[in-house]
Structure 1
């Protein structure tokens, strides 16, 4: 692709791979070339870049859907149907070969495609998509435009849409004005499942053609429903430091409501839970001021004793600590919670205001901030220096959110 300023912005945002989110990768080659602005009334010189995106494949749900639509359109045309079905079969086999090769059991592209292969593709894609979208939720990432055309079958982030990381928590957060509720942050797991349903619908004509049954498709749908649900619940448990066997959703629901009411910083609120555990380990969990001071960096000023948010947050923190103490009651187990939380909840994410400052400076020839952010995101889970923490581990200023 040839872009100017937009390419610099998009290339800077590849930092999210270091957060542990499955995605395709962008390779960028900078050159001192010049290109006129596309606006003929404003001729400016801008640096350009060539980018090459790298991934095992770029097979989108929409690619397969296109061929499936052609099959449905040709169903009453005996001359066109065989060719349309052959094309659908070829693209499905290619997808399996590129993304889920073990399904073909060593036969490679020469394997004779079966209904079972198609069903295994659907199941494998459900696993990958559920994992991907649950990781988005873990790090506060919003894809923006997450329809089937922007959804890779292999479950990697395809960030061609207006995407970004959340500052103040808002379940309706999205970076695209057309996202609506269906692509909003908290609805992304459902959007991912809808994309998977589209994939299953596109595979259905081929499955039936190869001798598969409706019962097999129904079983795959029921399986996928559980896969998406389990992946999301597992993510919330891990962000709370809870063991896998803990099944209650009450703690998460109450904390999410607190974040929403107070518009707390999403990343910092989750990260500070590790410091709350540190306070409990030091025997100070009953000291209100210690707990409040720990969480103010995320929630803002909550020092007023009459603050409802302060009251509800303190109640929640103690309930949460009690659950943790019960879950990790054996000797030494509780000491593992804070480190685990710090490996699950990143300290730093590439927020828009950070990137804007970096690429604005870079456009003037100053790469200092770009290099600083590159260093920061080499390990976004590390505490980093006090200087970098003061600069980047903070709530966004009001002007940065406008």
Structure 2
């Protein structure tokens, strides 16, 4: 497919230039009339692009991979991975294309990547396409995560393909997600490179990852070890942030662990309503491997697989390298525990004795579990408790006396430390969200979209884009859904 020089977008391609062997040329499936269903105009402007042009027919063709902009070399990325603990030596972008890279207004290099654009050499028997619903889900959830301040890939747009995608439950409207990321390098990318016969690919990949994401590692005595430690710290902090907002990723396979430290791949993901640490949302996670409470140990396990790929780069002596990486891996718990403790204390406006702060925080979590209470609603209601308006928090639980007793201990601790309640309440309103993508709201919006009505999705995106604001008239978006088991699917 020829480059169209009239397209007012410009890409770069450092990955294609520097990482030969880790991608394959690819083209998008030909479409008759793609149209932009949703566009993040603010993100478009951050990239230096004209949002109005992107939203039009010519922009839709570029965002669907139909026309190639200057500097773009569409490729499908190669990677391997451990899926639910089982090694898969060759995965890759089976339904995705990397269009290229853009340097945004802040000087950050960003990948622009299509998901659902058609078959590639990595498709493994799949049709390479995506249904509109799961692509809209990723747009909604990644928008919410960004607004919550959690590192994440972002959705620039969702393109309606105009055709139908056949799945087990019948035909669905097709869609393409246009994803923007710090990069699409994954632990699985390193697993793939480590298996190649060309011994030069893995060192090139490590150098590229360091230069793009963790530049300080280049000056370390052992750059590959410093790279591992940087990724370890970023992922430990990331998982702690997930837990603070009640997020469950769903499929934490190694091919879904980004070297950048961003959340990537919003397939079977969701947010807790009722607080139960055993919660699983993925239809295929029958053993609870990636349940809410297992996400930190799952991430440490994934990082162990990353460490294995780096052994030959850390030291020529294998035993020395293994020892250094094993010690570094052990540091995951310290980083995660600190991030989780600090986040829990912040959600309670506590900054005194860490042990006492965490103890009273864990008492609240135990109470929420025992009471089947709404996680987001209860924490949001704590600001009201500080203002002498405890109704919102009390209505989340069955045993209100139990919550009142906990609240009395919490308030006494704050008073003992001289914390101003009004100031603390304002702080909590900026930390504990009012709105998250409630599962029943997401499903209702997606069903409407598949029936041709995109307005509910647009409104939901607007709501979750301002998670800490009260948004009068939208109170119903803050409430939990039916108390039933909620399951999501990967969309393939």
TM over 0.5: yes
Q: How many angstroms does 1:142 deviate by? A: 0.3
Q: Please tell me whether residue 388 in structure 1 is matched to residue 388 in structure 2.
A: no
**CA separation in 2, counterparts of 1:4 and 1:215?**
46
| Native 8 Å contact 2:436 2:478 kept in 1 | no
| Native 8 Å contact 2:300 2:329 kept in 1 | no
**CA separation in 1, counterparts of 2:485 and 2:154?**
28
Deviation by residue 1:28-58 (Cα, 9 ceiling, x = unmatched): 2435x5324426996x6x5433322221211
- Shift in CA distance, 14/225, structure 1 to aligned 2, threshold 3 Å: closer
**CA separation in 1, counterparts of 2:409 and 2:327?**
39
**CA separation in 2, counterparts of 1:115 and 1:90?**
18
Q: How many angstroms does 1:196 deviate by? A: 2.0
* Number of positions where the alignment pairs a residue of Structure 1 with one of Structure 2: 355
Give 2:89's aligned residue. Answer: none
Give 1:253's aligned residue. Answer: 362
**CA separation in 1, counterparts of 2:237 and 2:448?**
36
Matches within 5 A, 1:55-204: 55-69=181-195, 83-84=198-199, 86-105=200-219, 116-179=222-285, 180-204=287-311
Question: Equivalent of 1:38, from 137, 161, 166?
Answer: 166
Give 1:353's aligned residue. Answer: 440
- Shift in CA distance, 326/362, structure 1 to aligned 2, threshold 3 Å: same
Q: How many angstroms does 1:174 deviate by? A: 1.8
| Native 8 Å contact 1:130 1:232 kept in 2 | no
| Native 8 Å contact 2:312 2:321 kept in 1 | no
Give 1:319's aligned residue. Answer: 409
**CA separation in 1, counterparts of 2:304 and 2:250?**
19
Q: Please tell me whether residue 298 in structure 1 is matched to residue 396 in structure 2.
A: yes
- Shift in CA distance, 314/25, structure 1 to aligned 2, threshold 3 Å: same
Give 1:8's aligned residue. Answer: 136
Give 1:269's aligned residue. Answer: 378
Q: TM-score scaled by structure 2?
A: 0.66
| Native 8 Å contact 1:353 1:400 kept in 2 | no
| Native 8 Å contact 2:165 2:173 kept in 1 | no
- Shift in CA distance, 20/322, structure 1 to aligned 2, threshold 3 Å: same
Give 2:6's aligned residue. Answer: none
- 1:38 partner SS: strand
Q: Which moved more, 1:258-267 or 1:193-202?
A: 193-202
**CA separation in 2, counterparts of 1:255 and 1:181?**
24
Give 1:305's aligned residue. Answer: none
- 1:30 partner SS: strand
Deviation by residue 1:207-265 (Cα, 9 ceiling, x = unmatched): 12289655543542343331111111111111121116533332122111111111101
Relative to its length, the structure with more helix (as a share) is 1
- Shift in CA distance, 273/53, structure 1 to aligned 2, threshold 3 Å: same
| Native 8 Å contact 1:128 1:155 kept in 2 | yes
Deviation by residue 1:297-348 (Cα, 9 ceiling, x = unmatched): 322xx4xxxxxx3332222111111111223x16xx4432111111111111
Q: Which moved more, 1:186-195 or 1:203-212?
A: 203-212
Q: TM-score scaled by structure 1?
A: 0.80
Q: Please tell me whether residue 49 in structure 1 is matched to residue 179 in structure 2.
A: no
| Native 8 Å contact 2:438 2:478 kept in 1 | no
Q: Please tell me whether residue 397 in structure 1 is matched to residue 482 in structure 2.
A: yes
**CA separation in 1, counterparts of 2:326 and 2:168?**
56
Q: How many angstroms does 1:397 deviate by? A: 2.6
| Native 8 Å contact 1:143 1:174 kept in 2 | no
Unaligned ranges ≥5, structure 1: 71-79, 106-113, 280-289, 303-308
